[in-house]
Amino acid sequence: CVVFYDKPLVKFERLIETYIANAPRGFRSFLAAMPVWLKEKLYLKSLLKRELAKLAGCRRQALPKLLFAEHHQSHAASAFFPSPFSRAGVLCMDGVGEWATTTAWLGEGNRLTPLWQIDFPHSLGLMYSAFTYFTGFKVNSGEYKLMGLAPYGEPRYVDLIRDNLIDIKPDGTFRLQMDYFDYATGLRMTNARFSALFGRSPRAPESPLTQDEMDIAASIQQVTEEIVLKVADTICREANVDNLCLAGGVALNCVANGRLQREGAFQNLWIQPAAGDAGGALGCALAAWYQYADQPRKMNGAMDAMQGSYLGPRFGSDQIARELDGLGAVYEVPDEGRLSPLLADLLDQGKVLGWFQGRMEFGPRALGARSIIGDPRKPDMQTVMNLKIKYRESFRPFAPAVLAERASDYFEQAEPSPYMLIVSNVCEDQRIPTTAEDQKLLGIDKLKRVRSKISAVTHVDYSARVQTVHRDTNPRFHELLEAFDARTGCGVLVNTSFNVRGEPIVCTPSDAYRCFMRTEMDYLVVENYLLNKQDQPEWSEKHNWRDDFELD
C-alpha cells in the first residue's frame, strides 16, 4: 500500500468548524484559505493517484491501495517504531495536525495506543510560532532562531506569559487565552491585544534586534521547557514506562530536549531525527506496516533502526566526476589514506571545508554527510562561518560534532546524541573563567567573549547542540575527527549544514559545487575528490541566485 501522513478531509472539517464558530471574524482568512482547498487539497486522493500512476508508469487501477493516517499517528509511529524500545511512552507536540496539537501514546511491540490529546486551538507549537512572529522571525522556519536567541536574554516575561496567555495545569496540560492570538481566524499569529500586553509592536523582519526580543525569547523558551517536562513526566507516570519517545515540531527544540534528558522522570529518551512533518512520511509507512499489516517488530534494545538517519541518495565516483567536469571544476584525488590527515592539516590552518560524503541525511540536521566544517578552537570561526559562508545572523550558534568516545571530555551529557537533538553544557574544565568586564556584557555583546577552548561551538550560556559521531554509522566522518584529534588534541569540529541561509541542504555534487563557489569556503571534499577554491575557474551566473529562495 501507499500511505499519506494526514487526513485532509478531517483537517478541512476543522477549518470550517473554526470559521463558523468565530464568524464573522476570520472572513478574510477564510477567503485566503479556500482557493487552495477547493482547487487542490480536497482532491488530494485523486492528485496522489495521478502522480503515483505517472511515477509507476501504470494505470490508476493497477496502483496499490492508498491509505491515509492521522497526522499525530504518523508522528507517533515515526517516534516509536524506529526506537530501540519494546515499550515506551510517546509524546507528540506540534502546531496542529487535523485537530490534535499534543498527543500521548503508549507503544508496545508493534502497537500504538492513544492515551489522550489536546486539540486546536490550544497548541504549544503555535504559541511558540506566535512568539517567533512577534520577534520578527519567519513562522515555520524561524523557531530555532528564537531558541538560539534565548540565552542572550533574561526571562523577565515568564510571569506575564503564565498569567495572561496560557493556563498550565500541574500535569502540564494547558489552555491558551485565545483573545491574544489571531492564528485561528486571522492572517497573523498575534493581535493588537498581544502587542499591548508587551507594550510594543511586532519586530519588523530583518530589523536590528534589541534586548527586549532577547528577553521575550528567553521567557517563552522557559515556559516551553516547563510544559514539555511536566507533560513528559505525566505520560511516564500514567503509562508506567521508563522509556520516552518524541516527535512533532516541538521535539526539534533541542534546549527543551536537553532539560528533559537531565530532569525527566524516565530512564531513556529517543527522538525521531526528522521530528517535523518530513518524518510523518516515514511514520505513516511504519504505522501501515506494523498496525495495518500486523507485521512483527524486531528491536535489540540498544541501536535504533534509523541507520544514523543517512537515508538519502549517494553518488558513485563516475557520477561525481561527470558532474564536476560538466561544471568545469578543478580537482585532485589524493592517495588512499592521505585524505583525512591532509584535511586535518587544512582545518588546523583555519580553513573552512565543504564536506560531501555518502548518503544524504534525512531530516533537518546535517550529520556529517552534507556538512560545512571548521576548527572550533578558532575564536573568530563563528563569525566567519555565519557572515561569510552561511550569510546568516551573527547571533546564531554552531553545533559541535565530537568523537562519541570523547564526548564526556568536552560535554556534561552522558548519553549519545547522534542526531544533534540534545543541548548539553560544556564541561567546566573546557571553560575560560569570566572576568569582571565579561560579566558587564549584555545581549549580542556577549558574543565578544571567548567562553571555552572550543569557543566556536560554545553558546553564550556555555551550552552546545551536540552531535556524537560513531564509527559504525559514519566511519568517514569519524575518521576525519580522529585525524583532527591526532593532529591537534581536539576531538571536536564545527558542523553546520551545507547550504546558505534560506536554501535547502545540498543533495548532489553539482549542488555542492555551486554552494562552494557562491560562498567563501576554502575547500570542497566530495567523497575522495578534493577541490581548492583558488584552483577553480572564475564563477559567474546569469541571474542572482539569492532570488531563488526566500530567506528563512
pLDDT digits (tens, 9 = 90+) for 277-315: 999 999 999 999 999 999 999 887 778 999 999 999 999
Distances (CA, A) of 437 to 428, 433, 449, 491: 20, 11, 10, 31
| Residue 344: φ, ψ to 5° | -60, -40
Among 274, 305, 336, the domain-final residue is 305
Q: Is residue 91 part of a domain?
A: no
Quick one: 292 and 346 in the same domain? no
Residues 6+ apart with CB under 8 A from 128: 143, 146, 220, 224, 250, 253
pLDDT tier at 395 (50, 70, 90 boundaries)?
confident
> What DSSP state is assigned to residue 490?
-
Structural domain for 384, as ranges: 317-547
| Residue 100: φ, ψ to 5° | -70, 145
Quick one: 362 and 404 in the same domain? yes
Domain with residue 180: its CATH number is 3.30.420.40
- Please give the Cα distance from 350 to 290 (Å, whole number): 49
Q: What tens digit of pLDDT does each residue of 3-27 get?
A: 999 999 999 999 999 989 888 888 8
Please list the helix, strand and coil fractions of the chain in percent, rounded to the nearest 5, in that order: 45, 15, 40
Q: Is residue 342 part of a domain?
A: yes
Q: Is residue 490 part of a domain?
A: yes
Quick one: 300 and 322 in the same domain? no
pLDDT tier at 134 (50, 70, 90 boundaries)?
very high
pLDDT tier at 388 (50, 70, 90 boundaries)?
confident
Q: Is residue 103 part of a domain?
A: no
Q: Report the pLDDT value the prediction gives residue 89, as an integer from 0 to 100.
A: 98
Q: Considering the chain, what is the average pLDDT of its residues?
A: 94
Q: Is residue 471 part of a domain?
A: yes
Quick one: 459 and 489 in the same domain? yes
Quick one: 128 and 266 in the same domain? yes
- Please give the Cα distance from 58 to 203 (Å, whole number): 52
Residue 416 burial (CB < 10 Å; 0-12/13-18/19+)? Answer: middle
Q: Report the pLDDT value the prediction gives residue 552, as an integer from 0 to 100.
A: 63
Q: Is residue 520 part of a domain?
A: yes
The pTM score is 0.94
pLDDT tier at 29 (50, 70, 90 boundaries)?
confident
Number of domains the chain is built from? 2
Q: Report the pLDDT value the prediction gives residue 90, as an integer from 0 to 100.
A: 99
Quick one: 483 and 513 in the same domain? yes
Quick one: 163 and 269 in the same domain? yes
Q: Is residue 249 part of a domain?
A: yes
Quick one: 129 and 249 in the same domain? yes
Quick one: 353 and 450 in the same domain? yes
Q: Is residue 184 part of a domain?
A: yes
- Please give the Cα distance from 433 to 187 (Å, whole number): 48
Sign of CA dihedral 73, 77, 80, 86: positive
Q: What tens digit of pLDDT does each residue of 418-466 get?
A: 999 999 999 999 999 887 777 777 777 787 788 999 999 999 999 999 9
Quick one: 293 and 367 in the same domain? no
